[in-house]
Each structure stands twice: as C-alpha cells, then as structure tokens.
Structure 1
C-alpha cells in the first residue's frame, strides 16, 4: 500500500535563527513545536507520536515532559545525521497510516553556534562513527568540511568543476536570503568576487562554501489527509518520501565513489515513483547543503543533470528564482541558517501555501522536492504537493 498523499504536513513553526544565544536546545525545540501546533490549529493533547531530534536526543524525555505530551502512543529517535529529519517524516507516515498514531510532532535544530559545534567534531556522539574515529581521524580526517572538501576535489578532478561554479551556488543562496527577513544573512549581499577572496578552510572549500553554524529550531506537525480536512489550515500533502543508505556509511576511504552520492539517486527515485512524478515535475528544490559542492552533487544524483554537469548548470543561472529549477529559495543552510535541514522542509511547505515574501515566491508552485543528506552520504528525499 502506497503512502502517497495519505498524510500531510498540517503545521510548521520555527524560531528566529541566530548566532549567539543563552537559550537551550530544549527551549528552542519547545518554541518551534508550539508554533507548529498553533499553525495546524492543534494542541499538545492532539499529539500522540513524537520524533525528538537525534542530534539533541539526550533531551527527548525532557522535551515530552516540558511540552506536556500526555497522550503519546509512540516515540522514537532516528539517527541518520541530517537525513534523520526526512526519515522521521517517513516513520511518522508509516505510524499514522498503520493506525499506531494520528498526529506526529517532529522538532529539529540545535545550538549549532553557541553549543556543540560541527566544526569541532563535538556533534558526533561516541559510537556513531567509530570506524572513522579509529582508522581515519588519526590521519587528520577530523571534521565534516574535510570530508566534503575531498569529495569536491574529486568532483573537480573527474569533471573539471571549478571553484567559481561552487561560488555561484553561494551567491544564489545569498541572493535568496536577502529576500527573506528570517535569514541570518538578510541584508548582507555577496558577489562572486566575495566568494573567491574568502579564506580557504579546507581546499577547495572556502569560508563562503560553508554553511552557517546556527542557533535555532523548527518543527513539523504530520497527520492524516482525512483528519486535516477538519482543520483550519492549509495542509501540504506528502506525495513521496524515502531514505537510502551508503555503504560503508561512515567511512570516507572505503566508499566506492565520493564524487557522486548514490544513496540520493536511490532515495529520490523511490520518492518520485511514490509521488507518480519525475524530477522534471518539480517547481523548486530545497537541498540541505552543508557545503556548496553538495548542491552540485544533489542535482546530479537526482537526475536534474548528468554527472559532471552540475557546475555548468548553476553557472548558467538555472537554479536562480525565475530559472529552470529554483534551489534553496529561502537561502538554505549557506545563508538562512543551518538547523538540521528542517528549514528546507518548512520553506517547501510555505512555497506551496504561498506564504513566503512575494519576491521569492515560485510561480504556480505545485511540487517541491526536499533533499537532505546526513552523516556522510546517507540520503533522503521528500516530495511535497498541494
């Protein structure tokens, strides 16, 4: 039995995205969750399933208690790094369609700037990536920017991709963020020259190739399409959703390829098939991008362009608003904020509702794709539609 269109995102909510806060991750999750429930016209008493963020999983019980979730039937935490979010949406759809639950709450985000920093390696819990810790970190392969720098370098070697092409991804995200008042980089324009003179972090990735470690959170409310008919909201249908896994999942040196992301090809193909569409039916695409190169890799993996053609595609302006396929219309992790990819799903919902600023609204938006990668090449894909 297909899950397509049987569940909806009935509510979304988010905090402000900042770089510096004294608030706890728990507090941020609570605020976003209450906003999402209010958006759906529901209360905490309606929630009977919850998926606390894996990154902040240590506060799962505190989250349930402090939010006052008294009617839970199901609770679990999914750990696929950034891909945990869409995997949680898939899990929620299965729980709801099977009758285990009726209304699921999915919070995500963290104190990524003021608390545990990805750049320090602190965010990876002990035991999650032991193979990398034991065999690769002693050689200096310590943090995410180094992993993705090697992938970007391999892509350059195999396909002739350039730093300037990566820069066009960053410039596009910043242009969109400047039309989004909630973006961290709102009011801070950027040129390709700015990108090219930004300092090198891990060759070939420069400072402006890297996402913004941010403090903030978002939340989704998922329920059945049937129940949503009784809500005073504009529900967005979950048309297709899938996850896929690379092997070996956490090791850089043992992967068959690092210039491509096969798990995204698999996940997106299954999500598109479930939704009954092809990639050509997408009106915009939200890609959770820790680094600029990942946008090229995702465009290639899901079939927008052939392998190696992502660089020229972005260089020619196809991902801009008004282009062939607008990408990260909110500014993405590069310029709105890095909050575990939940802002990309929220942006997709708001694009379909027509709830974004007019200057960045995608015309006649019917289908939105959301692509989220986690750990190192765990893939997930979500198709939303009106």
Structure 2
C-alpha cells in the first residue's frame, strides 16, 4: 500500500456520546455500550452490522463484552491501540486499515470511563505498562500524576522560548468560550485570563485551569467504506490522512535531549502528505488538550507555526470561534469532559457534517484531530466532509 493508500478508503459514518458528568451511576462498561448503541443508531445500522471493534482506553472492555452485550453475530476483527490519549485517533488508522483491506466492513470504536466511583487517572495510569519508564527519575521525587510528569516539558519550553503562563491562559479561555455553548459540557462558566492567573498552582507551571477534567461518560464512532457510508443516514466524513508517531528515546520525559517536541511531530508530515492538503486548508482543529501546554506544543509540532512560536500563535483569539484556526469547538478535555480524546473525534465529525451548533465553523470542509498519550505518543487524522 502506497503512502496515500488510506486516503479516501474509509469514512466515519456514525457517532455517539453520553452525557458527560462527575456523577455517573453507570459503570465504564455500561457507558461504553450506551455510546456504542448511540453511534450505531446515528449511522442507521443495527448491532449485527458490526464486524469489527477497537475498544479504546485503559477501561476498554474486551471484544467478548460487545459480542455478548450487543449481540454481535459476525465479529471478524478486534484490536487495541494501547497509547493512552493517542488511542482514539490512532484507532481511526487501525479501523481504516481493516476496512481498506476487507478484513472488516464496519468497525465500532467505543470508549467509556467512570472516575467518580473508581481510581482517578493520576492513580490508575501507573498500572499501564509504559509507565515503568518513570520509576527511575520521576517516582523517587514524588512525580506520579500526569500534571507532575508533563510540567517539566512546559517549563523547559518557557525557559527556552519565553512562553508565558498568560499565553497558556489564552488556550484555556478559548476552549471554555466554546464549552459555554455546549449543553453537554461539564464546565460552562466563562473564564478570563485573570481567572486563569488566579487559579491555584497544581504543578509549576500548570495552574488549575491549565488542567483537563476528571469526568465520566462514553463516546463511540463507526468506521466503514465511503461507498457504504453514502448509503447510510448522514453524509460521510472521509479519512484523508492519518499517522502515529512516538517521541525519541529515552522514554523518561526528563531525560530526553528535547522535551519540547512530542510524537505528533513525526506523525504530522506523514498525515499531511497522505491527505494532500496544506495547513491553510484546515478549517477546524480538535487538538488533544490534557493540559494547555500540550495544545501549544502540538500546534508547533503539527507545523501551524515554528517551534517556540506557539505562545504568539495562540494570542489574539486565533483559536476561538471566528478566529483563524477554531480549536476544540466542543470545549475539549479542559472544559467539556475527559473522554480520552474520543469527544474530539465526535466533535470533528459534527463540524464536518455541519452539525456543530453554536460553534459551527462556517463552511468547514477539512479538519484535523490529534491525540496525545502517555510519554508523548502522538496520532493525527485529517478528515473531510463529503
């Protein structure tokens, strides 16, 4: 298969998400199943039409749970993408490859989490095998939570390039301005740069409003061929480019020669070449935002601006609705809810269908979505509304 072999070979035909909250009474599995049924119905399909499944996240249930609970009769493909927040976007690539080669015809990608009645991410995350890399340098000094692990990356960027906390605040404020209009967002109260600056320090330089939410919910999407998608309920959203990338070794963040670049830097050139589009063609962006600095870093690594210029790039409302690059139009992980980046995929599909509501980007045709996981794994997908 050539470099652009996945361009135009797959489409997202259905999306679904539950309410996001901090008080779900359903289990993570139940939330995944509910979101799955919503996505299947959105596509105009039945559960028996599903012949592939890629559960996302460390709470992802095995394929057998979907066979049993949804009544799948002909499951021919199942897989996992074990890269934390990069998994939801990475699964687009895996599902597209399965569909393009005929291994499966209709792939369900679900996720769900309930942290209200379980371990928070900062505790549970260290059960993941890749986190053994932090045991030598980080854990001995008490760096256990994601905010503590990623804060040195942001601080290095500040010291090297002069990036400021107020520039990070611009990202938080822009994302919240979108969540204000989203009824399915946990945090809808408007905030200002001064609110950000007054929020308490979590792990220098991250303040409270630099950090994503802990939330409950479920989300899912359906991947099939563009030809089949055209016969279903909505106009298809076609995959144009995708790639995954991993940061340079050593995998312990603080021991890397460059802490200011992540796996997206390797994935982006491949995805853009495959899609045969330029940065100027991107109408809307859904950028993984576990922390504000991670958005800034990815904008640089994606090539929207040069390394070190991200702080200036995000100023002057560029990321807000009506700006040059509307970003995280649903409120993102920072304000809508933390759904492992699945809600970013769902939102991009909505935007490219023209169903974005109050934050619909007028004339949106081509969009980009990213994932960031664990030690800096990156995933990129470029989608186009048919």
Taking structure 2 as the reference length, the TM-score comes to: 0.96
Q: Which residue of 1 aligns with 2:359?
A: 360
Number of residues of Structure 1 aligned to a counterpart in Structure 2: 382
SS of alignment partner, residue 382 of structure 2: strand
Change in Cα spacing, 1:156 to 1:56, as seen in structure 2 (3 Å) is: same
SS of alignment partner, residue 35 of structure 2: helix
Q: Which residue of 2 aligns with 1:107?
A: 110
Contact 1:250–1:375 under 8 Å retained in 2: no
Tell me how far 1:61 sits from its aligned partner: 2.7
Q: Which residue of 2 aligns with 1:283?
A: 283
Structure 2 runs not aligned, ≥5 long: none
Find the aligned partners of 2:346 and 2:43 in 1 and give their Cα distance. Answer: 13
Deviates more, 1:53-62 or 1:168-177: 53-62
Find the aligned partners of 2:129 and 2:185 in 1 and give their Cα distance. Answer: 34
Q: Which residue of 2 aligns with 1:215?
A: 216
SS of alignment partner, residue 288 of structure 1: coil
Q: Which residue of 2 aligns with 1:162?
A: 164
- Is structure 2 residue 244 aligned with structure 1 residue 233? no
Find the aligned partners of 1:148 and 1:131 in 2 and give their Cα distance. Answer: 14
Change in Cα spacing, 1:158 to 1:113, as seen in structure 2 (3 Å) is: farther
Q: Which residue of 2 aligns with 1:172?
A: 174
Change in Cα spacing, 1:244 to 1:70, as seen in structure 2 (3 Å) is: same
Taking structure 1 as the reference length, the TM-score comes to: 0.96
Find the aligned partners of 1:107 and 1:336 in 2 and give their Cα distance. Answer: 18
Change in Cα spacing, 1:102 to 1:18, as seen in structure 2 (3 Å) is: same
Residue correspondence of structure 1 range 20-169 to structure 2 within 5 A = 20-119=23-122, 121-169=123-171
Can you list the C-alpha shifts for 1:163-198, whole angstroms capped at 9, x where unaligned?
111111111111110011111112x11111111111
SS of alignment partner, residue 320 of structure 1: coil
Contact 1:271–1:383 under 8 Å retained in 2: yes
Can you list the C-alpha shifts for 1:211-260, whole angstroms capped at 9, x where unaligned?
01110110010001121222232210011111111133741123221122
Contact 1:249–1:376 under 8 Å retained in 2: no
SS of alignment partner, residue 63 of structure 1: helix
Find the aligned partners of 1:162 and 1:317 in 2 and give their Cα distance. Answer: 16
Change in Cα spacing, 1:290 to 1:249, as seen in structure 2 (3 Å) is: farther
Structure 1 runs not aligned, ≥5 long: none
Find the aligned partners of 1:88 and 1:249 in 2 and give their Cα distance. Answer: 25
Residue correspondence of structure 1 range 258-273 to structure 2 within 5 A = 258-261=259-262, 263-273=263-273
Contact 2:112–2:339 under 8 Å retained in 1: yes
Find the aligned partners of 1:6 and 1:249 in 2 and give their Cα distance. Answer: 35
Contact 1:284–1:368 under 8 Å retained in 2: yes
Q: Which residue of 2 aligns with 1:324?
A: 324
Tell me how far 1:378 sits from its aligned partner: 0.4
The runs of at least 4 consecutive aligned structure 1 residues that moved more than 3 Å come to 57-60
Tell me how far 1:135 sits from its aligned partner: 4.4
Can you list the C-alpha shifts for 1:109-148, whole angstroms capped at 9, x where unaligned?
31134323113x2133253321213543122221110122
